[in-house]
């Protein structure tokens, strides 16, 4: 028998907890990223696909249609500006400071290998470079690289052009690059649909767009009795599933040509995705046996697994 849908589980959990349906108008939203009303039935519009997303008291909402996660209330432009003014000073590539330079170098080479599978050296725009050495690695491999970000990376090579600003439609960049890369960025965006549209606009017809982002919405993550460890405003605001990514980019005239779970080595891949599989399997069994308990645990706990997805889209000819 199929597991109950999220909508049914949300309704059941409200009944089990003896909670009244929230009558607030408009529905309660987070204050400083902490939800003050703990009614679990509240819905918002998914910012990825436009479907119904069911809110939880950890500040996010999971879409019942594409399984992406949206923050309930986006931070303001001023809050984001304050946050990212010092972001690069304390960002170590998604891990601890110790060994961060070598880890980021290895990820940069993994990104370059993914780009190389689908392109030849040519014009390349890297969006949201932050502290990643990828732009330098791509330039060393023969690509003519431009970096677009809020703050110029301090170690950027002199032969890498830099554009300061955010990824919005820019007439001067329209169809200007054979390759557009955007690694670990879309989850930071307050408007992922607009960001995807901008990335597609930068790419030439028949060019490729290469991205990484936290993996949510697959069988294992959907059933894990704990929310994604990747969610965390004001840094990570939207976690986009594979279905969500296809809606964003294929709907803008692209074709998905490569999708994989990313890691730096086979042992690390087995460890990262083995944990995800174990958590997902245990969660699926709990969900089938005691769905209300599963939902309560999913909303209270954070998963150990932190899977990463890599996507390659090719922009179709006009």
210 occurs within a structural domain: yes
When mean pLDDT is compared across 79-83, 105-109, 203-207, the lowest value belongs to 79-83
**pLDDT level of residue 29 (50, 70, 90 thresholds):** very low
Q: Count structural domains, the chain.
A: 1
pLDDT of residue 83: 84
Task: Tell whether 52 is covered by a domain.
Answer: yes
Full-model pTM: 0.85
How far are the Cα atoms of 122, 180, 200, 244, 314 from residue 176, in angstroms, in the given order?
11, 10, 11, 26, 15
70 located within any domain: yes
In a domain, 1, yes or no: no
Residue 256, domain member (yes or no): yes
Instruction: Give the CATH number of the domain where residue 177 resides.
Output: 3.40.50.150
pLDDT for the residue numbered 99: 67
Range of the domain at 166: 6-315
Residue 308 lies in a domain: yes
Residue 199 lies in a domain: yes
Residue 221 lies in a domain: yes
Q: Which of 33-37, 291-295, 300-304 has the lowest mean pLDDT?
A: 33-37
CB 309 within 8 A of CB 259: yes
Environment class of 191 (CB within 10 Å of its CB; exposed 0-12, middle 13-18, buried 19+): middle
What torsion do the CA atoms of 211, 277, 103, 129 make, to the nearest 10 degrees? 20
Choose among 205, 115, 129: nearest CA to 160: 129
- Cα separation, 153 vs 45, in Å, equals 35
Alpha-carbon distance 220 to 216, whole Å? 9
8 A C-beta contact, residue 54 and residue 7? yes
* 134: Cα separation from own chain's centroid: 19
């Amino acid at each position: 028998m199929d597991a109950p849908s999220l909508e049914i589980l949300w309704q059941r959990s409200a009944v089990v907890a003896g909670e009244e349906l929230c009558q607030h108008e408009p529905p309660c939203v987070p204050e400083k990223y902490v939800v003050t009303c703990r009614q679990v039935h509240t819905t918002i519009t998914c910012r990825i696909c436009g479907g119904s997303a069911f809110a939880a008291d950890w500040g996010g909402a999971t879409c019942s249609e594409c399984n992406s996660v949206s923050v309930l209330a986006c931070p303001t432009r001023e809050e984001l500006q304050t946050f990212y003014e010092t972001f690069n000073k304390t960002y170590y590539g998604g891990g601890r400071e110790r060994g961060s330079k070598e880890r980021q170098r290895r990820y940069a080479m993994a990104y370059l290998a993914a780009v190389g599978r689908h392109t030849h050296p040519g014009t390349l725009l890297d969006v949201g470079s932050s502290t990643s050495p990828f732009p330098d690695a791509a330039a060393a491999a023969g690509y003519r690289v431009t970096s677009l970000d809020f703050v110029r990376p301090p170690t950027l090579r002199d032969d890498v052009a830099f554009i300061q600003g955010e990824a919005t439609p820019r007439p001067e960049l329209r169809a200007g690059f054979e390759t557009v890369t955007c690694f670990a960025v879309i989850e930071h965006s307050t408007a992922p649909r607009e960001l995807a549209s901008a990335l597609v606009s930068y790419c030439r017809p028949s060019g490729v767009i290469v991205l990484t982002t936290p993996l949510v919405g697959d069988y294992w993550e959907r059933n894990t009795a704990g929310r994604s460890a990747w969610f965390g405003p004001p840094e990570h605001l939207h976690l986009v599933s594979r279905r969500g990514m296809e809606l964003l980019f294929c709907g803008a005239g692209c074709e998905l040509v490569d999708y994989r779970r990313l890691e730096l080595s086979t042992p690390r891949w087995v460890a990262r995705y083995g944990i995800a599989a174990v958590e997902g399997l245990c969660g699926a069994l709990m969900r089938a046996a005691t769905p209300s308990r599963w939902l309560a645990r999913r909303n209270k706990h954070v998963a150990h697994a932190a899977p990463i997805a890599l996507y390659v889209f090719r922009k179709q000819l006009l």
